[in-house]
Amino acid sequence: MNNWKYILALPALGLFFIMYYYYVNKEELWTDRVFSEWFEGNLIIGVFDFFANPPTVTVVSLVLVLYLWIFKKNYRGMLFVLASVGGGSVLNQLLKTLIERERPELEGQLLSFSFPSGHSMAGIIYLLTLAYFLTEYMYERKKQVLIWSAALLLALLIGLSRVAEIHHYGSDVVAGWSIGYVWFALVMWWYEYRERQFKKHRPSST
């Protein structure tokens, strides 16, 4: 894995704190205004909400865990999935509880807090985790780029769907993407570090 995938976590973390700073100081965020103007009420984008609903994320994650267990015997990879998806969900709920931002005003609105967007965060985490393991043993560069690009595009559309359905502000979505990527990068670093340690101490065959 190229180091730039780790390095990207730094600006992502900075972006999360920028969104948080402007919210705390009650300053208008361009993301809230622009995202609302461009995407609010868009029925086509709203459809992508499905791809980060809890049942969808759970089923895809369990299928990936079974694949790593049965076909790859990659037990550390199974922990990767559980830590990234499960741990990311816990982190999201913790942040929402600490920050306590109310959702946009909408009749029948969800009762949970708004910042950061759970769908945006869960979407980028589980899709990048899926892309990671789909390309881990793949050596064709074009296929790798295609899979990672598809994962990022779908994560983007999932986040925008929350604005389209007026469940979140734009800054909630950007914060979800950014802190979700940071969490994914941390778990990825742990996984690759442990893989290097395992290979380093594995007895060589004679």
Catalytic residue among 96, 101, 103, 119: 119
119 is catalytic: yes
201 is catalytic: no
Do residues 152 and 135 touch, judged by C-beta distance below 8 A? no
Q: Give the span between the Cα atoms of 154 and 69, in whole angstroms.
A: 26
Catalytic residue among 113, 168, 172, 191: 168
Give the alpha-carbon dihedral of 93, 147, 158, 25, to 10 degrees: 60
User: Hey, how many other C-beta atoms are within 10 angstroms of the C-beta on 71?
Assistant: 8
Identity (one letter) of the amino acid at 54? P
The length of the chain, given as a count of residues: 206
**Which residues are known catalytic residues?**
119, 168
